[in-house]
Amino acid sequence: MKNPPAAQAASNRAYWLKTLHQWHWISSALCLIGMLLFAFTGITLNHAADIAAAPQVQQKVVQLPAELQTALAPKDDEPDNAVLPPDVHRWLADALDVALPDTTAEWSPEEIYLSLPRPGGDAWLRIERESGSVEYERTDRGWISYLNDLHKGRHTGLAWKWFLDIFSVACLVFCITGLFILKFHATSRPTTWPMVGAGLVIPLLLVILFIH
């Protein structure tokens, strides 16, 4: 015997509501810590000018060995941008006690300059080609600045960019399933759609009236 239409509709409603709730709680669990981080850093970014920071600067000076200095001697056909030779790269990482990425440096006849941007600060390395003197400087602007740069994905590398993409997809699933759950409960909660509408109208009015 077939189920009557009302019973079938109730069964379908229960199935979809259960499925939506399952996707909703899974996506909310995945997003929880990330949402707390991004909500907090949204506040700190909005008040960045009001948050005092005392950057800490670390400087180091070392001297390249003669054989490595010879490897960096100017050549007529050298490019303007190239990675450091492997031997020089390894020696600098050990001598300066820093993790140097395999990024391109700017080469000129007088010096080699390597920019080392990082979340929450900055760093750079300069090699004088004639003397072999190496100067390294690192600036740390504190953990608030570090978290702000994580929020923006600034100088965070490929792995963090992938995390941001996956996190964003999880947030979309969380919001969309939440919207459908609201739809299921809207008949018994008359304020549902006015509240959803307010969430759209309020920021829209702020943009129209106060942002130019």
Query: CB–CB of 147/45 below 8 Å?
Result: no
* pLDDT confidence of residue 197: 94
Domain annotation covers residue 120 = yes
Domain annotation covers residue 191 = no
* pLDDT confidence of residue 48: 87
Whether pTM exceeds 0.75: yes
Domain annotation covers residue 69 = yes
Pairwise pLDDT comparison (11 vs 209), residue with the higher score: 209
| Domain encompassing residue 77 | 56-141
Domain annotation covers residue 121 = yes
Domain annotation covers residue 186 = no
Query: CB–CB of 26/174 below 8 Å?
Result: no
Q: How would you label 83-117 residue by residue, b for 16+ Cβ within 10 Å and e otherwise?
A: ebeeebbebbeeebeeebeeeebebeeebbebebe
Amino acid at 159: A
Per residue in 76-105, pLDDT tens? 788 889 999 999 999 999 999 998 988 899
Domains: count for the chain? 1
